[in-house]
Structure 1
Amino acid sequence: MRVSVLFPVMPTDPEAVVPFASLVRSGQAARLWQGQSLSADTHQVFAYLAGRGYRVPVGTGVVLMPLRHPVDAAVQARSLARLTGQPMVLGLGPATPDFVTGLHGKPYDSPRDACLSYLTEVRRLLDAETPGGAGTVGLPGMPHPGVEVGLGVLRPVLAHAAGRAADVAISWMTPPGYVRDTLLPAMARGAAAADRARPRMVTVVHAAVDRPHRIPYRLAYTAAHAHLAGPHYTDMLRRAGLRVHHSQPNLGARALVDSGTFVYGSPQDIAAQLAEYGRAGVDEVVVNTAGVYSEHGHPDAVRDLQDILAACREQQPAPVP
Structure 2
Amino acid sequence: MTVDLLTFGESMVSLRSAGPLVSGGSLDMQVAGAESNVAIGVTRLGHTAAWAGVVGADPHGQFIVKQLRGEGVQLHHHVHPERSTGVMFLEQRTADLSRAFYYRAGSAGSTISRSQVDAVLDAGARILHLTGITAALSPEARDAVEYAAERAAAEGTVVSLDVNYRSKLWSRDQARAVLAPLARHATIVIASDDELDLVAPPPKGTAAASPHDEAGAAARLLGLGVSDVVVKRGAAGAGVYTAEGHLDAPAIAVTSVDTVGAGDAFTAGYLSALLDGEGVAGRLHRGILAGAFAASTRGDWAGLPCPDELSLLDAARGSTQR
TM bucket, shorter chain: 0.3 to 0.5
Give the number of the structure with larger relative contact order, counting CA–CA contacts within 8 Å between residues 6 or more apart.
1
Greater helix fraction, Structure 1 or Structure 2: 1
Greater strand fraction, Structure 1 or Structure 2: 2
TM-score, L = length of structure 1: 0.35
